Structure 1
Amino acid sequence: MENLEEIDVEKLFNRFYMKDESRNNQSSGLGLTITKFLVEKMNSSIKAEISDNFIHFKITFKYDFKK
């Protein structure tokens, strides 16, 4: 498996983006694109970071506790 440090994390959210190794799977390459779309529709955010050869996803939801 290739070193994850070489992956451009911003590309992970692009439609149909897959690393060459994952092209053998039955993936459409749309999962993270759809996730980002839905999270942003809720006025929230998602980002990816790589550390220790793991990809970490952080989703931040905005909520008004005064309601």
Structure 2
Amino acid sequence: MSDHSPRTAPPVTDVVHQGTPHATWCTHCKAWTGVAGTAVLLGTDGVTVLGTWSGCSICTEEDPRAC
């Protein structure tokens, strides 16, 4: 006979946070339309920087390869 009792999910121990976004200069648009941030991993053993992310609110809508 099999056990059909519901399983509980394991506790979440690591969380990825996209960081606080800040304005950047877009070299393609020649304006302060860019946005960037630092992605971090919040784990039980501390904080690990995963890398940076960036984009532009204008040129990425038209052509994501432009910026």
Question: Using CA pairs below 8 Å that are at least 6 residues apart, which structure has the higher relative contact order?
Answer: 1
TM-score normalised by the chain length of structure 2: 0.27
Higher-Rg structure is 2
Relative to total residues, which structure has the larger helix share, 1 or 2? 1
Q: Which has the higher strand share?
A: 2
Q: TM-score, normalized by length of structure 1?
A: 0.27
